[in-house]
Chain A
Amino acid sequence: MVTTPLLPSDYLDLVSPLRAGADLCGRIEAVRPETGDAATVVIRPGRGWRGHTAGQYVRIGVDVDGVRLWRAYSLTSPAHRQDGRITITVKAIPDGRVSNHLVRRAKPGTLVRLDQPTGDFVLSRTAPAKVFFLTAGSGITPVMGMLRDRELDDVVMVHCAPRPQDVIFREELHALVAAGRLRLTEVHTATDGVLDIARLDELVPDWAERETWACGPTGLLDAAEDHWSEHGVQERLHTERFRPGVVVAGEGGEVTFSASGRTVAADGATPLLDVGEEAGVLMPSGCRMGICFGCVTPLKAGAVRDLRTGGITEAEPGVLIQTCVSAAAGPCDIER
């Protein structure tokens, strides 16, 4: 009542964005390079942070060139770090807007949005006697969170990376090996080629008896799932996939209007507003020329093309599109 139409929190956010009760945020306190293209970001989370279990990931909203983009990254800090900070470790991928921003441009002091941590890629409460970590590239990040969190009796790890200098946390891993806490095999794919899953018999002879956590590119995980199933031990394999699928933008495609449960084929030139209206979907509309924003609708999956600029917008949580100037660029799902 005192602050209508705003809320008191809108004013408090100006001075204390990390306070209890605020929308969850964090402040970047440091960015430390790990390899040529990976860095660890140290974040002080807001008071509302509920804490994580090692191996979980967090969704983080970063403003890149002024645009809020959300990505999920595994937490690499142990649960309950003394100083209350959390870390994520990010590998810059080609054309990755968020990853390149975090690795190369993010500055201490910047606020980022956070979600509560989530994910079931975690160690069981009572640690298994024999553990196997199978990782590749940045797939090492959730596993590093686990290694830092708990001392395990018998751990074997096979990690793939192009070259020795590309192995994230290499020094720390080798220190663990030296301390006798870890047995590690590095597979350098630039010289050795991609890991043939059949080689596990030779690298880790007792792999089938070990509780296994695998994280890496889709190819590796698909191969691992097949392999474990073939040997009838799939219940011992836990996997974590970073990218469910890559959107391939094309010309037109199947458009799903998920709220009304309709799917129709659309070409790459017809505005989705027209496509929806023809299909009998209740579409909000306004100027029908891209100026009034009366037609904005969430894009749940797929990609659309802006008919004015040709630019592609891909689905992400929170992405709204103007249906009157957007056409299907491949299959897509819009919430109407």
Chain B
Amino acid sequence: MTAIDPTAHLTAEQIEELGRELDAIRDEVIADRGEKDAAYIRKVIAAQRKLELVSRGVLLFSMFPPAWLLGTAGLSVAKIMDNMEIGHNVLHGQWDWMRDPKIHSTTWEWDHVSPSDQWKHSHNELHHTYTNVIGKDNDLGYGIMRVDEDQKWHPFHLGQPLWNFLNACFFEYGIAAYDLELGKNLHKRRRRNPEFRTRARAVGRKIRKQVLKDYVIHPLLSGPSFLTTLGATFTANLVRNLWTHSVIMCGHFPEGVQVFERRSIEGETRGQWYLRQMMGSANISGSKAMHFMTGNLSHQIEHHLFPDLPSNRYAEVAVKVRALFEKYELEYVTGPLPKQVFSAWHKVFRLALPNRKPLVGTADREQELVAA
């Protein structure tokens, strides 16, 4: 929570008007959504599959360094495309309107150790509904870090730069553990909960399949290139993990992003919900290729406002959304990737230590109250 509420200048009517304007932006896209969008996602899916197939083919000869390099690079990109522009967005239901059972949030499975149904619950239902609400949205530090002054400090947080680095390297396992709420569920009493055990078994099965494919079958298929292919798939998974972790950190952790108290969302209106999404997310600026590789999560603000709009439309929506930020005098948090990654990491380091002085925000609020 920052010192001054950056939305304090808006009246209740203005917030509802803002909500209506955002609804209108959404309706416009939905009215226009059609054949071109469907062709887009099919093209991306086909390209991803071809790239993965070719890369894995090249890796059969990974004992030759150029083949290793080419195959590893291709497989890394294919895995990132699968998780970001395709998996994340399909699982959001962005393409459900096509009524194609093969590209549908209820049937899609991704190249990731967390089974899609568990991820959908923790991500779509919890994170997207309770975005940045302390105590409700576990994405605020994933339960292993403190990313806002208002989160209580614990000596455990001293190690958070290291936790964050390890989480980045093994991000897909971090997500699987997070979706299982492992921290909470490993307590003795909860461990025996049959519902948790079913979910844990599902994760176990998914991990087994993924590991078998990446670290046993494909290396074996490579014959004499066994070890180099093993190294290649490990590297591709690592690259994918580091990249997705960086992109996702930029969504809510950079400086300037607001968090909210649990009480503040009681009886929240549609307009207020929109406003929370606007203030609770941060974008990444960059080229078309950069937007594509982030799965358009570089348009995190637009994604949080309209999580079910097709990702290929966020760029055009962003122009209109940004105009609304200006109209209502709100800060549109955005910046190039290195700047945003640095900002997020800086926060992780800074908040590893307890707050240095009493919260300025609280003091300010008290003063305001006194003045009133």
Contact = CB atoms under 8 A, between A and B. Distances in A.
Nearest to B106: A296
A10 to B, nearest CB: 7
Interface string A1-15: 111111000110010
B97 A67 contact: yes
Nearest to A5: B109
Contacts of A48: none
Nearest to A306: B30
* Residue from A68, A69, A289 with most neighbouring chain B CB atoms (10 Å): A68
A69 B99 contact: yes
A54 B209 CA distance: 47
A2 B105 CA distance: 23
A60 B73 CA distance: 41
Interface string B19-59: 00001000100100111111100000010011001000000
A250 interface: no
A290 B121 contact: no
A294 B23 contact: no
Contact of B128 (A1, A5, A10, A291): A291
A296 B96 contact: yes
Given A66-B98, A68-B100, A319-B99, A4 B213 contact: yes
A14 B101 contact: no
B142 interface: no
Contacts of A4: 209-210, 212-213
A289 B273 contact: yes
Contacts of A1: 209, 212-213, 217
Interface string A294-308: 101000000000001
A321 B38 CA distance: 19
B38 A66 contact: yes
Contacts of B271: none
Q: Chain A binding site: helix, strand, loop or mixed by DSSP?
A: loop
B99 A287 contact: no
Contact of A291 (B50, B102, B121, B129): B129
A101 to B, nearest CB: 10
Contacts of A287: 124-125, 128-129
A309 B38 contact: no
B103 to A, nearest CB: 10
Given A5-B111, A14-B49, A320 B98 contact: no
Given A5-B110, A286-B124, A14 B35 contact: no
A5 B91 CA distance: 14
Interface in A55-69: 63, 65-69
B254 interface: no
B125 A292 contact: yes
Interface of A: 1-6, 10-11, 14, 63, 65-69, 286-287, 289-294, 296, 308-309, 318-320
9 contacts: A1-B213, A4-B209, A66-B35, A287-B128, A292-B125, A293-B93, A293-B120, A308-B23, A319-B99
Instruction: Give 3 closest A-B pairs by Cβ, nearest first.
Output: A66-B38, A293-B93, A292-B124
